[in-house]
Structure 1
Amino acid sequence: MSLSDDIGRYLDHLTVERGAAANTVSSYRRDLQRYADYLAGRRTDRLADVTGGDVREFLVDLRRGDAERGVVPLADSSIARTLVAVRGLHRFAVAEGWVDVDVAHEVSPPRTARRLPRSLPIDQVAAILEAVGTDGTPRSLRDRALLELLYSCGARISEAIGLDVDDLDTDSRAVRLRGKGGKERIVPIGGPAVEALEAYLVRGRPALAIAGRGGVGPGVFLNARGGRLSRQSAWQVLVSAAERAGIGETVSPHTLRHSFATHLLDGGADVRVVQELLGHASVTTTQVYTLVTVNTMREVYATAHPRAR
């Protein structure tokens, strides 16, 4: 089998047997195609011919880039992600009996610097939330509900725009989010977010749905045509609100997510509770914020989050 055949079978395995998300498979395909192109340049087209030295030199090549071909050097974090895909391919090849030795097993990724995610002070977050949705139009009601939700539960922007109406339970003040890898989690939301969502669902979303052409899907946040709000449009909602609030620095939806986590931890929330709320697979990812004492998720949220009441 050629290397391209091996990669195709591995990606099929991720999709069919492992149930990997489409975005994950797409990322692996891109990284492994880069790996295949590199090996082709070394006249290697079979996994059985690849050595540990080839894998290590591939990582060096990623870091170095190629100015003549317009290939920019990759950051250490991107190199580490690519190595995950390469390791997975070689590990799968051994398990399937295509090769006898996993030559990538002992190749280590570059160490990445652990940077503390940037967050906003509580007063700046409050200013952004007060600056959006002030005129009572369907669009402004939607924008207010969106930003209140993002900060209230720390949702990723993809999770927020992917919400369906059935994912909301305003009576119990909870929302079901679909995170990376299709994993679902139910998280609490605070009073201001519930009020904003109810106002939007009653007075905003129906108007956007009527304005749309054709059938309206189950999405919570709709655009002016009645379709699901895009990531870019949701991003612009926050950018515009931050500008109106006089926030000089660049603000992204992830800034609200980081602010959510930081403010919870500053309020005394346990890092493992925040891990569950954020949908992190490992507590190590959440520990970039800080460590605190243990409590239950709903109790911590109700007492620690500044907009939980």
Structure 2
Amino acid sequence: MDTTTNYINNFLNYLKLQRGESPNTIRAYKKDLFEFFQFVKTMPEEVDSVAIRGFISEQILKGNSKTTVTRKLSSIRSFFSYLYSEGIIKINPARAVSSLKVRRNLPKFLTIDDTFKLIESPSEDKFIVQRDRAMLELLYGCGIRVSELCSLNLEDLNLKDGLIKVKGKGQKERIVPLGQKAKEAIKKYLAMRHILRIKKRFATQEAPLFINNRGNRISDRQVRRVVIKYAKAIGIQEKIGPHTLRHTFASHLLMEGADLRVIQELLGHSSLSTTQIYTHIDLKHLMEIYDKSHPLNKEEN
């Protein structure tokens, strides 16, 4: 194993053990860093800001989005900050590289009618269908991330008090309230899950909340397929996924007058600035209502 690979592996272990980053995040860091060092073809101690800018320029010329390039730059910065803090390098070359200005697109969200149609579309009295209904209820009713949904265990549920314990980014835990419909959907699903477990004799050492027919924890990809499947079934043509329901949750709360800091806590955002993007959505919604409802606008139409 060469020195660069050893540095990268030590950094990835630091991300996992010290910062509690998710496997997906660690994989992204690993991919970005190996791609960078394949480009510069030099040791970390010999990298300068010119080399980093060259890599970023090449990524832009390749046609990668600013969001993707910004993520790669963030990976490089974190890596060199780690090397600097460990005393491996005396100067951090990434500090001299300016950030890209990224235009943040407003997240897509569903109307209330489309949201209800989507959630209520799984209605058959079958294990998989009831599981799908419970997952959709949680994604919209609690605004949790797909990774948070998949990592839920039975012990994280408190149906009596209507609460769930969610592990967010960096393994930070938060308590999120369950709505009545979500509780009912989960109860129906759990009854069928219990019958399936006895019938197929699933191992009980680990108790993931959402499982497939073989008793294995459901994956992010499977959840995305579920959302797409039911969206298409009710005629939603736009490209949506589990994160769309998270955006919908936040947008609908704001429209109904919820405090932005409450939404921040429910979503598990570490910074209020991340949550503030939803104020732009609400403003857009208010403008649409104004255009449709104001008497002067009606006279013009």
- Partner of 2:93: helix, strand, or coil? coil
Q: Structure 2 counterpart of 1:7, which letter?
A: I
Q: What is the rounded CA distance, in whole Å, between the counterparts of 1:102 and 1:288 in structure 2?
A: 32
State the match for 1:27 in structure 2. Answer: 28
Q: Residue 292 of structure 2 corresponds to which residue in structure 1?
A: none
Q: Report the Cα distance in structure 1 between the residues aligned to 2:255 and 2:114, rounded to whole angstroms.
A: 16
Aligned position for 2:39 = 38
Change (3 A) 1:142 1:17: closer
What letter corresponds to residue 45 of structure 2 in structure 1?
A: A
1:87 is aligned to: 77
Q: Which moved more, 1:94-103 or 1:6-15?
A: 6-15
- Aligned partners of 1:249, 1:16: CA distance in 2, in Å? 39
Residue 92 of structure 1, CA deviation: 2.4
- Spell out the pairing of 1:1-309 with structure 2 (5 A cutoff): 2-40=3-41, 45-65=42-62, 73-132=63-122, 134-202=123-191, 204-212=192-200, 214-216=202-204, 217-290=206-279
Distance of 1:212 and 1:110 partners within structure 2: 53
TM-score normalised by L of structure 2: 0.86
Q: How far is the alpha carbon of 1:131 from its aligned partner?
A: 1.2
Distance 1:173 1:260 in 2: 18
Deviation at 1:157, TM superposition (A): 1.4
- Decide which structure has greater helix share: 2
Q: Which letter maps to 2:72?
A: T
Find the aligned partners of 1:137 and 1:233 in 2 and give their Cα distance. Answer: 17
Deviation at 1:85, TM superposition (A): 1.7
Q: Deviations over 1:264-286 (max 9, x none)?
A: 01111122211111111221111
- Secondary structure of the structure 2 residue equivalent to 1:228: coil
Q: Among the aligned pairs, what percent are the same residue?
A: 37
Q: Measured at CA, do residues 246 and 23 of structure 1 come closer, stay the same or move farther in structure 2, by a change above 3 Å?
A: closer
Moved segments of 4+, more than 6 Å: none
Q: How far apart are residue 35 of structure 1 and its match? A: 1.2
Cα deviation for residue 125 of structure 1 reads 0.4
Task: Judge conservation of contact 1:165–1:219 (CA < 8 Å) in 2.
Answer: yes
Q: 1:208 touches 1:225 (CA, 8 Å); kept in 2?
A: no
Does the CA-based 8 Å contact 2:19-2:170 persist in structure 1? no
The alpha carbon displacement at 1:239 in A equals 2.2
Cα 1:125–1:107, aligned 2, differ >3 Å: closer, same or farther?
Answer: same
User: Partner amino acid for 2:4?
Assistant: L
Change over 3 Å in CA distance of 1:16–1:135 after alignment to 2: closer
Are the equivalent residues in 2 in contact too, given 1:209–1:226 (CA < 8 A)?
A: yes
The change in CA–CA distance for 1:57 and 1:277 in structure 2 (over 3 A counts) is same
Deviations 1:104-143 (A, max 9, x none): 10211211111110000101101112211x2222222212
1:175 is paired with a residue whose SS is strand
1:212 and 1:224 in contact (8 A); partners too = no
Secondary structure class of the residue paired with 1:198: helix
Q: CA RMSD in A?
A: 2.0
The gaps in structure 1 that reach 5 residues or longer are: 66-72, 293-309
Q: Secondary structure at the match of 1:158?
A: helix
**Shift, 1:171, TM fit:** 1.1
Letter in 2 for 1:188: P
Helix, strand or coil: the match of 2:279? Answer: coil
Which amino acid letter does the alignment assign opposite residue 28 of structure 1?
Y
**Residue 160 of structure 1: how far off its partner (Å):** 1.2
Alignment check: 8 A CA contact 1:213 1:225 kept:
no
Partners of 1:184 and 1:241 in 2: CA distance: 30
Q: 1:249: how far off?
A: 2.5
Cα distance change of structure 1 residues 201 and 107 upon mapping to structure 2, 3 Å threshold: same
